[in-house]
Amino acid sequence: MTDQKDSQDQTHFGFEQVKVDEKQDKVADVFHSVASKYDVMNDLMSGGVHRIWKRITIEQSGVRRGHKVLDIAGGTGDLTMRFSRLVGSEGKVVLADINDSMLNVGRDRLMDKGITGNVEFVQANAEALPFPDNTFDCITIAFGLRNVTHKDNALASMARVLKPGGKVMVLEFSKTENPLLTKAYDIYSFSLLPKIGKLIAGDEESYRYLAESIRMHPDQETLKGMMEDAGLVQCKFQNMTGGIVALHTGIKP
C-alpha cells in the first residue's frame, strides 16, 4: 500500500478523500484537540506498551554523548527526554512538531522535569525541515509519519539533514502478521478506541481518524522501499507486538 490518491489533488484523511491542501489543517485540528490528553490516551490505547516500543527505539538508536538528534513529531517529548540524557551537555536534541499545541505540551512537560539545557523546540513541517544539510546524527519520527501528507517528501527531507553514517528511525503502527490478531485489532480500533477517546478526551471523531490513519499507512515492505527511494541504505524493519508496530531504520551513505 502506498499513499492512496484518487487524483493529483486528492489524498486520504483516514478513510476520507480530501484535497491535498486541506489535509494538513485537518490533521492539525485532530492534534489541537487531543494534545492535553495525549499521554493519558497513549497509555490507555496501548496498555502502556508504547513505552516498551519507545525504549527499544532508544536502545537501537546508537545515540551517545555529544550527538545531535532530531525528534520529529516529538509531541509530548517521550523520546526527547531520553535522548537528552544520552547526548549530555555536549550534545543537542531538537524536538520538532508541526502542531503548536503538541509542541507547547512537550515544552511544558520537559521544563517541569528540568530538561532544558540541551533541548531546542522547533515548529516544523517534516516535509520541509528547516535545518542545514548533514546536521543530525540520528533522526526519529514516532507515530507521526502516517499523518504526513507526502511521506516521500518527508523521508527525503530527513535524509537531507542527516549526517553521512547517521540513522533515520521510523516507529509507526503497521500491519499485523496474524489474521486472528488483525481481526481483534480491527474490533478494538474501530469499536472501542473511538469510545475511549470520547470518554477520556471528549473527542470520538479524532480517535476514529487515528484508527483509520493506521490502516491507510504503507505496510512494512512498502515503507522500507520508500526509505530506500529517499537515498537511505541498509534499510530494515523490526516488527513488535505481532506487527501492530514496526521500527524501520535506514542509514545515510
| Per-residue pLDDT tens over the stretch 149-205 | 999 999 999 999 999 999 999 999 999 989 898 898 888 888 888 887 788 777 788
| Overall pTM > 0.75 | yes
Instruction: Report the distance separating Cα 45 and Cα 38, nearest Å.
Output: 10
What confidence category does residue 8 fall into, taking pLDDT thresholds of 50, 70 and 90? low
Over residues 44-52, the mean pLDDT reads 82
Is 126 known as a binding-site position?
yes
Is 28 known as a binding-site position?
no
Q: Name the percent of the chain lying above pLDDT 90.
A: 62
| Per-residue pLDDT tens over the stretch 215-248 | 889 999 999 999 999 999 999 999 999 999 999 9
Is 125 known as a binding-site position?
yes
Helix, strand, coil percent values for the chain (each to nearest 5):
50, 25, 25
Q: Which helix (H) or strand (E) holds 113?
A: none
Instruction: Report the distance separating Cα 73 and Cα 85, nearest Å.
Output: 19
Least trusted range by pLDDT, from 9-18, 27-36, 115-124: 27-36
CATH number for the region 49-175+222-251 comes to: 3.40.50.150
Instruction: Report the distance separating Cα 15 and Cα 77, nearest Å.
Output: 29
Instruction: Report the distance separating Cα 179 and Cα 184, nearest Å.
Output: 9
Q: Exposed (0-12), middle (13-18) or buried (19+): which is 193, by Cβ within 10 Å?
A: buried
The owner of cell 485537518 is 26
Q: How many CB atoms lie within 10 A of CB 25?
A: 10
More confident residue, 33 or 153: 153
Bridge partners (DSSP) listed for residue 16 = 13
CA max distance for the chain: 49
Asked whether the predicted pLDDT for residue 148 surpasses 60, the reply is: yes
The owner of cell 516498551 is 52
Instruction: Check residue 216 and give its pLDDT.
Output: 85
Q: From start to end of 38-183, where are the E strands?
A: 68-72, 92-97, 119-123, 136-142, 162-173
Q: Say which residues have a Cβ less than 8 Å from residue 137's Cβ, sequence separation at least 6.
A: 63, 67, 68, 69, 163, 166, 167
